Structure 1
């Protein structure tokens, strides 16, 4: 079953849901517009949704599948990419035709933890664009790359037109596009059509087009990255341009394999091991996660007692989740480093 309780491939159900939304939203002169994917990436391959609109009423949070990929009062859908992809350039695209109602550019691409919240006060969106669409909806595109915005206030844009590039500006800890949808003064979840904090579950009225819905399956968790270092990487910098792999030598004071995951849930277990060139295996007891975490980095390694042997060191980490009805989710990370 998919996020909304339909059988996989139930295209008819999606068409019916989208058609109902057209009737419900399109009460004015302009017909309601279904939204296309606002970022040039392939979810599950080179990007993923880190956070969804918060649908939990009051305190607490819930995503569109009633899962934990949100935080309290989060208003948008966060499409996350790697720092390396951000540097190469990932296009942000207009989700529908509309008028450029406002924009901001010129803010630096740094984690807000480095610059401080005071530096971005009242500019939490960072570099961004707001579009007003013919059906009265607004879409907002946040955390775009400094100097990348390609449109001007008052400009008419078409669906799929490039607005700029994904960045790291404003209140963000990792490169991503925060995509927000508003109608009638209310923030909406584009996957269900529900108002923020109005409750998850129930019959959906998606704002996405059928093709975009097919491209955005709900993914609860995944692997971020992995590597070898002589110390545990700083989780606050490793995914925003921090050094991921030291230039290790046989004299390195320690040798650690690290692995990162996103969408980690309470009760998940992580097993890690390193296989040295000699065939010796380093292991540690499986670690059980005590609470939900948006992202997590764990490591396994040893301190140097003699020069590290030359040859390949293979690191492996596996996150395992026991689900309902005996279902099991397994997420692996594997990396190999060759010591000179």
Structure 2
């Protein structure tokens, strides 16, 4: 059965993920038209060509900024070895669960998010790209079908929407797209876990952390984890709790509610893909153990909320209570 180790990745394994993401974006960037055919019908040929050229240059600038920040932060590089061979070598050595966590992290990656420079970010927000071409690129690089990519992506977005629908009566956080989903990830806690490694603080650390995350690609697992693992991916932080409560508890205390939703949704995508590899009895065992781990986590959050309210810290109590509701909603969603 799966455990926290199946979601734990080393620096060299993060480098492989980085190369996959970079290669997919570069392929999409070079495949031609990014804007829709309908939109181009409303433009002149000259206007369309001008837009596509400017859009291409903005993509390249974002890709350069993001890859540079990521390389410096993790001290990794875009190696010129055969990417397909490197992927297949790792996949042959990993468990099916770890491969699935990697696939989820790669496929749910959303590009062209903020990298910290306000002026550049305004321009980057105007970038148009083809989600279909990007999905096809990921499928080709990872040697999986486009249908698999779609299934992972759809479960991820569907779960985000479902959790918010159950826990937000005013619908102010209703998620409409992957681009909207990734906006939830602009959380200061990321900087402490990642950007701080660079000796940075404040906005600079946040920018560095978000750059490395590609706007939320990874759930920071904390550098210096046991066994050389430095990041937890595929929503595995939720399951890691059940396996190693003592070391993961502090990390979960700092996770914000929105990141909890993202981690839950990635984990839902993981379960959807991984359970297809199991027999029916094993699927049932997997779901029961997952629900058990989530109940344990919910109990911890409830206890923390009780302490906060009893100590007169109502603001923190309400914040933690929101996490309780998110976990409870997620458990109801996946067991259905």
For the aligned pair, the TM-score class normalised by the smaller chain equals under 0.3
Higher strand share: 1
Higher helix share: 2
Larger radius of gyration: 1
Task: Give TM-score scaled by structure 2 length.
Answer: 0.23
Higher relative contact order (CA 8 A, sep 6+): 2
